[in-house]
Structure formats: structure tokens, C-alpha cells
Amino acid sequence: MGLEALFYPERVLLVGSSTIREEIGMASPALFESIAHNLRSFFKGEFEAFDVKSPENIRELRRLGKTFDLVLLALPPDLSLSALKESVELGIEAAVGITGGYSDEQREEIRRVCEEHGVRFLGPNTIMGIINTDNGLNTTFEKNLMPEKGGISVISQSGGVGACLLDWACYQGVGLSKVAFVGDKVDVDDADLLEFFLEDEQTKVVCAYVEGVSEGRKYLEAAKKFTEEKPLVVLKGGIIEESARRALSHTASLAGSFEVFKAALKKAGAFLVEDLRDLFDASVALEKQPRLKGNRIAIVSNVGGPAILMADALAREGFSLPQLSEETRRELLRLYPKIDPTNPIDLIADARADRFKKSLDIVASDPNVDGIIAITMLKSCYLEPEDVRALVEFSEEHPEMPILNLTPGGEDFALIKEQLKDSRVPVYDSPSRVVSALKALRYWHQRKAA
């Protein structure tokens, strides 16, 4: 344990350089300047940047005459290692290795120094380090990329995968709690983070990208304990020999046999996905929506074709489209005599907020329906973007009824996502993405029931 200083430090020191640049690698004046910019912009604690102008300069670190609880290392490997050795004299409890390219010996050295001084180490090769929306800690070098507060915490072995999740979150207005890029995992690993996130009140769901796990049993035990309380979505990278080999050189931990890992992780209560997009989509659904208690899905749509495709996608993945009850059909017909009250329900292209809201209310009270997909297209319809606020209202009034939105298209999706971004209704742009989200909600029900 002892990860508090990683996520909730009071005094943070960044060690980088405004002059030293790696020929191929991350360490550069721009990196130093960008991380400092983000910490100055968002971090609510104390922050100091130490500029290592020349290698000799590192000795000055211990003469800062202040204590820090977290140090961030953004220099080339050898200099970062020296900086770590100086920083332990400043009373640090945790350190983050931003840059990569460390040798096995250097990694071993980090481990030794940290063990000796009781320092927890995240990385190296985390690339982006750490984010905590609770206190504004943001050690990434993407200037001003700061997600909203939310319930999803991310563990990513890859800077690229984590950056992609972060980008989607910011772009879609999905809130995150904490993000940890774990990199080479010389000390802090996935299991430690799961333990921390289990206790962390703001974390509702963990979204994890894993390439390799060195201590498999420890990880599975942590996953099992975690999923007794909260959902865990995992994407495993490096399932084939070629990419596993690459994963090994990429972040220096063994990918392992995928099938064994998959079976064990499933048994431990995690939800495994295959695509990067599914990782994000499933996590968003789990954070925003209640669990799905059965397989019977109703579709309420203002277009015909996409509703049919949605129905096909559901059927392919084992969901069913229940017949609506007599009462539901009667109620819908009473209000809208020209609408065929068959599931999927086509509300016809001129449906606006009122017709959506009333139909959803009727469908939600049908005992045959476990979850609802609302399809809201703007193009080829009379719907206006603000009409989808009817779904938000519905979701607030029916917190136990899962509802997901499908808005296929480019501009249409962008407009609807703007309307729904602060709400509990997740929005997806193709039927297969909706199915992936529904599967996550179904998983969580089954895990809770197990």
C-alpha cells in the first residue's frame, strides 16, 4: 500500500530539463515545460519544478531545503535515476518515472533505491504518469487535457492506450476519477492499484489495459476482491506471438498465454473486451447505468432501418426482443394510432421529445422489458438535438431501467453527444457499440448475482 502519496500528494516536485533533449525518446524541454504547465494549471497542492540544466546540476536537488511527498522524473534514464537518488533525501514517499528506455539494470537500481527508502515507484516509462481529478494532479504533457470528475478510474500499461481513453473521455464529456499509467511496473502494479481503487470512494468502475502481469496470482486475487464491490473492465493486449513479443520489448513485462489469462480473469469476475473502443464503451455504460437484470431489450426509434440493424445486432449476441405486453400495445396505440406498437418500435420520423418521453414511459412499465435502446437520428427526421433531453428526464425518473442511446452518423452523433454529455445516458454511434455496452451491464448483474 502507501499509494496515497501518488494520488494525494501535498507537495509535488517535477525534475526535468529546459536544455537536455534525447535524440530518440521523450525527454525534452517541451516535455518538462508541458508537465509543469499542467501542474500549475490544475494541481491544488504545492508544486515546484526543478530544471536540471546540466548533469552536474542534479546535486543541487538535495539542497532545495524543502520536503516533497511526490517526485516526477522527466529526464533521460541515467539522469532520472540520479534524480531519484537525490530526491529520496527530500523525504519523498512516492515517485513517478515519466520517460522510458531504461535498461534492466537501471530498473533493478530503481527497485533497490525505493525499497531502501520506503518509496513507492510508478513506472518508469509511464509516459503520462498520473491524473487525479479530485485534486487536479495531472502529470501528463498534453497541455490542458484534463477530464471532468467522474467515477471511472483507468489503469493503463500503455501511454498510447491511456491517452486514447483520456481523449475519448474529454471529447465525450465522460468524467474520470483517477488515471494511472503503469509503464514498466518496477514497483506499483495493477494489483496495488486495484486495492487502492477498491477503497477509493470516487472510483465506481475500473477500466484497465493490460499487456503482461508478472505476479499473476496477486493480480487475480486483487481482481476477485475488487469485483466483489465494483465492476472491472479489462482489455488484454498482446494475444498473439508477434504482438506479445512486441509487448515484451515495449513495456518489459511478459504477455503470457492469452487463453489462460482470459479464463482466470473471467473467473475472477472481470469483464473482458477485445477492442479499444469496447474498453471505453463498456466502462462508460457501467459508470452511468444500472445493471441489466435480463436479456429482453426494447428499441424505441425515430427511424426504421437503424432499428432493424440494432435488433439484428442484439439477436447475434444473445439478447432478445420481447413482444410488448397487451397493455403496452394498447397504451401506445391509444396515444399514437398510426404507430405499429411492435418491438422495435418505430415512432416515425416526425417524433419529437414529447412522443419519445411518453413512449419510453409506457415501455418502461412493461414487465417484459429489462432494458431500452433509444435511437435518435436528426438527419432524415424532424428531431432537434434538444429533444433528446427527454431521454435524460426519463433516465432520472427511472433510475433502475437501463437506457442507452444510439445515434448513428457523424454530425448527428456529435450533436447528440453534446446534449447528453452531462447526463446518465451514454451515446454510441453504431449498433455493435451499443451491444458491447449492454453486455457490460449484463455482466455486472451476473457478477453481483454470483
Out of 218, 225, 246, 448, the residue judged to bind a copy of itself by CB under 8 A: 246
Near a copy of itself in 264-283, by CB under 8 A? 274-277
Q: Does 312 bind a copy of itself (CB under 8 A)?
A: yes
Near a copy of itself in 120-159, by CB under 8 A? 127-128, 140-142, 145, 156-159
User: What is the rounded CA–CA span in Å between residue 254 and residue 62?
Assistant: 36
C-alpha cell at 342: 411492435
Q: Does 377 bind a copy of itself (CB under 8 A)?
A: yes
C-alpha cell at 299: 428499441
Question: Which H or E run includes 202?
Answer: none
C-alpha cell at 427: 451515446
Q: What DSSP string runs through 290-344?
A: ----SSBEEEEES-SHHHHHHHHHHHHTT-B-PPPPHHHHHHHHHH-TTS---SS
Out of 130, 222, 300, 309, the residue judged to bind a copy of itself by CB under 8 A: 309
Out of 2, 91, 118, 305, the residue judged to bind a copy of itself by CB under 8 A: 305
Shortest Å, Cβ 9 to a copy of itself: 22
Near a copy of itself in 396-425, by CB under 8 A? 408-412, 414
Out of 64, 88, 113, 239, the residue judged to bind a copy of itself by CB under 8 A: 239
Q: Within a 10 A sphere around the Cβ of 335, how many other Cβ atoms?
A: 14
Q: In the complex with a copy of itself, which residue's Cβ is closer, 215 or 429? A: 429
Instruction: Of 172, 408, 443, 165, give the one whose Cα is nearest residue 289.
Output: 443
Shortest Å, Cβ 240 to a copy of itself: 4
Determine phi and psi for 430, rounding to 5 degrees: -155, 155
Q: In the complex with a copy of itself, which residue's Cβ is closer, 15 or 324? A: 324
Q: Does 261 bind a copy of itself (CB under 8 A)?
A: no
Near a copy of itself in 21-60, by CB under 8 A? 22-26, 28, 30
Q: Does 432 bind a copy of itself (CB under 8 A)?
A: yes
C-alpha cell at 179: 488515471
User: What is the rounded CA–CA span in Å between residue 27 and residue 16?
Assistant: 8
Distances from the Cα of 209 to the Cα of 155, 163, 182, 268, 323, angstroms? 6, 11, 10, 16, 39
Q: In the complex with a copy of itself, which residue's Cβ is closer, 212 or 231? A: 212
